[in-house]
Amino acid sequence: MESSPQQSPRRVTRRTLLSGTAALFAGSAAAEIAPASESQNEGRISADVLVVGGGTAGTIAAIQAARLGARTVLIEQGSQLGGTMTTGGVNFPGLFCAWGRQIIAGIGWELVKATVELQCGSLPDFSKSTWPALRKHPQFQVRLSAGLYAAIAEEACVQAGVALRYYEFPLSIRQTPDGWLLEVVGKGTRAEVHCRQLIDCTGNASVTGMAGLALQREAETQPGSICFTLDPAGQTKNQLYVFGADSSTSETHTAANIAGRKTVLEYFRALKGRSETGDIKLLDLRPETAVRETYRIVGETTVTKEDYEGGRIYPDAVAFAYYPIDLHTREGVRPQHLKEGTIPTIPLSALVPKGSTNLLVAGRCISSDRLANSALRVQASCMAMGQASGAAAALAASSGVTPLAVPLETLRAALCQHGAIVPDVK
């Protein structure tokens, strides 16, 4: 009801707003944790699908597997979901669009959209992702709150029934006649996890390497970056390169973090020492150096630069991808754009380590040559790979076959049913 001119509407001051907020949250602003049972900490856990690494790809893989009814466990060494996208501070996923239309959707997009909507942010207009606007591709990435995304992704995992295990990582791995047995350790926890299907989403192909399967790696990898927020940002940087950054072991990642923070301190002190930037504040420094490149798997199929740039439609394509070739070197980065209309695809067989059974890999360590990888590693593609691997693993577990034996029509139908955009290969 509109207020009449005689009735003055209640004046909303900061105090009334805050007391209203306090009333709203009375009794609901605190959390209560149920005591952990013995069985959560020790012993043998049985799963249809085990996902190792709850980053950009792994979160989506786990949700998809669980939504298809698989008993799903997700092991993440860190304290939250999202990996490079959240903890690494690269909270601007892309690209979900190319040539005027959306090319990647599904569970990753659902979470990204939910995060932006809750924050009352705005999404890029994908219909404008045409030439020449697409040359400035970062404008079509989605800016979002990393913390909010991590919380929303976690909520989606819990709602789907994913058993989340933070602060844990696998110590050993052994193949069994019907899957894999992993010894998993954490802070005061030790468990044996038996799974029918395993998905390696560590970003470094760590589990695949532990299983003794072939990996590939360049002599010199792309630099990592440490991300931060300055106020006022002005002409200052918000990330600095960390050459040699490698997240594949605790030792190398420790060195990358120390080098990253040292560089930020030096940069920040230099800014404080200049009259024009002396008032600048460091609002946020991400807790770890974000790493671009370490190991990739050697898969049943390897996506080459030619395949990627040619927009090859693989017979087992399960997702589209789009990003320029984007290799960072000591000289910086010069994105090489794709020809107008080109939309590369991702084959399921590039997510399968060569000669393996009951194992999939999703994320930046997809089987690809270095230049194709420099484009495929971006977040929207990692999410699409995550969803494809989660669906393939769940379907394989329920029918007792290895993922490559799941009929492609069944896999594609399941992906479409869960909102993904799947290339038409007919």
| Binding string, residues 338-377; x marks residues near ligand FAD by CB under 6 A | -------------------------xx------------x
| DSSP at 353 | B
Q: Does 378 bind ligand FAD (CB under 6 A)?
A: yes
| Per CB under 6 A, 94 contacts ligand FAD | yes
Rounded to the nearest 10 degrees, the angle between the axes of helix 56-67 and helix 106-118 is: 110
| Cα–Cα distance measured from residue 357 to residue 403, given in angstroms and rounded to the nearest whole number | 8
The correct pick among 96, 140, 169, 320 for binding ligand FAD (CB under 6 A) is: 169
Tokens representing 3 are: 């207020």
Residue 290 binds ligand FAD, judged by CB under 6 A: yes
72 binds ligand FAD (CB under 6 A): no
Applying CB under 6 A, the site for ligand FAD has a residue count of 38
Question: At closest approach, how far in Å is the CB of 409 from ligand FAD?
Answer: 27
Q: Residue 89 carries which side chain, given as an amino acid letter?
A: G
Token readout for 296 is 């990739």
Q: Could you say whether residue 93 binds ligand FAD (CB under 6 A)?
A: yes
Please spell the DSSP secondary structure of 277-344, one letter per residue.
GTT-EEEEE-SS-B-----EE-BSS-B-HHHHHTT---TTEEEE----B--EETTEE--BPPPTT---
Residue 56 contacts ligand FAD per CB under 6 A: yes
Q: Which of 74, 85, 112, 230 binds ligand FAD (CB under 6 A)?
A: 85
Binding of residue 292 to ligand FAD (CB under 6 A): yes
> Contacting ligand FAD (CB under 6 A), which of 193, 230, 382, 411?
382
How many C-beta atoms surround the C-beta of residue 31 within 10 A? 5
Find all residues with CB under 8 Å of 135, minimum gap 6, and list them: 337
Residue 225 binds ligand FAD (CB under 6 A): yes
Which residue's CB comes closest to ligand FAD?
55
Q: Which of 50, 68, 90, 388 binds ligand FAD (CB under 6 A)?
A: 90
**Least distance CB 197 / ligand FAD (angstroms):** 17
Nearer to ligand FAD (CB atom), residue 361 or residue 424 = 361
Q: Are strands 72-76 and 42-52 parallel, antiparallel or unpaired?
A: parallel
Rounded Cα–Cα distance for residues 237 and 263 (Å): 12
83 makes contact with ligand FAD (CB under 6 A): yes
Between 71 and 296, whose beta carbon lies closer to ligand FAD?
296
- HSE at residue 2, side-chain half, CA atoms within 13 A, is 2
Span of 10-18, 71-79, 122-130, 273-281 interacting with ligand FAD by CB under 6 A? 71-79
CA–CA gap between residue 324 and residue 141 (Å, rounded):
13
C-alpha distances in Å from residue 73, one per residue of 158, 165, 209, 360:
11, 7, 20, 15
Q: Which two tokens stand for residue 267?
A: 């940069």
- By beta-carbon proximity to ligand FAD, the closer residue of 187 and 426 is 187
47 is a site residue for ligand FAD (CB under 6 A)? no
Q: Is residue 77 close enough to count as binding ligand FAD by CB under 6 A? A: yes
Query: Could you tell me which residues come within 8 angstroms of residue 247 by beta carbon, excluding any fewer than 6 positions away?
Result: 203, 204, 224, 253, 256, 288, 289, 291, 294
Q: Which is nearer to ligand FAD, 72 or 239 (CB)?
A: 239
Contact map string, positions 232 to 271, toward ligand FAD, x by CB under 6 A: -------x--------------------------------
Among 291, 346, 360, 414, binds ligand FAD (CB under 6 A): 291
How many whole angstroms separate alpha carbon 349 and alpha carbon 302?
A: 8
**Which of 327, 408 has the CB closer to ligand FAD?**
327
Question: Is the backbone peptide bond immediately before 93 cis, with ω within 30 degrees of 0?
Answer: no
Q: Can you give the binding site for ligand FAD, defined by CB under 6 A?
A: 52-58, 75-78, 83-85, 88, 90, 92-94, 141, 169, 201-204, 206, 224-225, 239, 290-292, 363-364, 377-379, 382
